[in-house]
Amino acid sequence: MKKVLFVVTSNDKLGNTGEKTGFWSEEFAAPYYELLDQGVEITIATPLGGQPPIDPKSADPASATEDTKRFDADKTLQEKLKHTHKLSTINQKDYDAVFYPGGHGPLWDLVEDKNSIALIESFYTHNKPVAFVCHAPAVLKNVKVNGEYLVKGKKVTGFTNEEEEAVGLTKVVPFLLEDALTKNGGKFSKGPNWQPYAVEDGLLITGQNPASSKLVAGKLLKKLSK
């Protein structure tokens, strides 16, 4: 049985706005069930351990999908989420791949988290897939392999400047993901706003927005079945 680690934000503050954030439920639920239904064993870790915050906007019925409805009704998963592992206790040796769901939360904690940075580097250098969707590719900002940014010269995508502007948070986020990955040498590409779009380059898989979550999971499953 393949084992995949999900790394989820512990941050619930949307900058200085006084509003709440966290992980985006579709970006967690769609890949979770895509993998689970194929027999993959999933472990969830967060910087602080315990219950990770869900972005309240993603729990809005207007954002609901079949996967988020399943997520809301899944008592086993809700219990599992209450008891996530602390990131500091995780070793890549125990897993075949790592997946990061987005939401705005990771921009403030996982981007700077030393354990997360070291973990991604370790998965990558041990020839294991690393996958990210929407805002999660931002956590690659400080990840280096052999002294060079991991994204340098690689095809990447993520939540675009245009999409950030559309949700009115360009001035709230600590940095724009598209700009950061481009600055670090990533070959950033994108599809139309809010449409499914994902790219892979070797072990690195990235998806643009919530609608891209299943695409990323599908690419990850293909890598795991090789």
Per residue, what are the HEC states of 106-147?
A: HHCCCCCCHHHHHHHHHHHHCCCCEEEECCHHHHHCCCEECC
Q: How many residues does the chain have?
A: 226
* Residues above pLDDT 90, as percent of the chain: 97
Phi, psi of 87 (to 5 degrees): -55, -35
- pTM of the full structure: 0.98
> How would you classify the pairing of strands 144-145 and 148-149?
antiparallel
Phi, psi of 98 (to 5 degrees): -130, 145
Per residue, what are the HEC states of 31-81?
A: HHHHHHCCCCEEEEEECCCCCCCECHHHHCHHHCCHHHHHHHHCHHHHHHH
pLDDT of 137-192, one tens digit each? 999 999 999 999 999 999 999 999 999 999 999 999 999 999 999 999 999 999 99
The range of the structural domain enclosing residue 138 comes to 1-223
User: Who's near 193: CB < 8 A, 6+ residues apart?
Assistant: 160, 162, 163, 166, 209
pLDDT of 31-74, one tens digit each? 999 999 999 999 999 999 999 999 999 989 988 999 999 999 99
Question: Which domain CATH number covers 18?
Answer: 3.40.50.880
Residue 178 is which amino acid?
A: E
State how many domains the chain has.
1
